[in-house]
Amino acid sequence: MLTAYDYPTAKILDEAGVDCLLVGDSLGMVVLGYENTTRVTVADILHHTKAVTRAAKRAFVVADMPYLSYHVSKEDAVRNAGLLIQEGLADAVKMEGGTAIFSTIQHIINANIPVVGHLGLLPQSVLREGGYFIKGKAEKEIKKMKEEALKLQEMGVIALTLESMIAEVAQEITESLDIPVIGIGAGKHTDGQVLVYHDIIGYYHGYIPQFVKQYANVAEIAEKAAKQYVEDVKNGVFPSEEHIFTNKKK
Catalytic positions are: 163
Please identify, using beta-carbon distances, which residue of 3 and 174 lies nearer to ligand KIV: 3
CB of 94 to ligand KIV, least distance (A): 6
The one-character DSSP state at 72 is S
- Nearest residue relative to ligand KIV (C-beta): 24
Please identify, using beta-carbon distances, which residue of 113 and 182 lies nearer to ligand KIV: 182
Q: Helix, strand or coil for residue 164?
A: coil
Phi, psi of 47 (to 5 degrees): -55, -45
62 binds ligand KIV (CB under 6 A): no
Phi, psi of 244 (to 5 degrees): -115, 135
Binding residue for ligand KIV (CB under 6 A) from 161, 171, 174, 190?
A: 161
CA distance 60 to 205: 28
Binding residue for ligand KIV (CB under 6 A) from 25, 44, 91, 199?
A: 25
CA distance 225 to 210: 29
148 binds ligand KIV (CB under 6 A): no
Phi, psi of 228 (to 5 degrees): -65, -40
Q: Helix, strand or coil for residue 178?
A: coil
Binding residue for ligand KIV (CB under 6 A) from 13, 45, 55, 64?
A: 64
CA distance 149 to 65: 19
Which region among 23-31, 71-79, 130-138, 203-211 touches ligand KIV (by CB under 6 A)? 23-31
44 binds ligand KIV (CB under 6 A): no
Q: Do 9 and 200 contact (CB within 8 A), yes or no? A: no
Question: 182-221 burial, b for 16+ CB within 10 Å, e for fewer?
Answer: bbbbbbeebeebbbbbbbbbbbbeeeeeebbeeeeebeee
Beta-ladder partners of 183: 162, 193
3 binds ligand KIV (CB under 6 A): yes
124 binds ligand KIV (CB under 6 A): no
Backbone conformation region of residue 10, classed left if phi is above 0, alpha if psi is from -120 to 50, else beta: alpha
Beta-ladder partners of 114: none
Please identify, using beta-carbon distances, which residue of 44 and 64 lies nearer to ligand KIV: 64
26 binds ligand KIV (CB under 6 A): yes
49 binds ligand KIV (CB under 6 A): no
Q: Give the x/- contact pattern for ligand KIV in 169-188, rule: CB under 6 A.
A: ---------------x----
Binding residue for ligand KIV (CB under 6 A) from 62, 196, 200, 201?
A: 196
Binding interface with ligand KIV (CB under 6 A)? 3, 22, 24-26, 64, 161, 163, 184, 194, 196
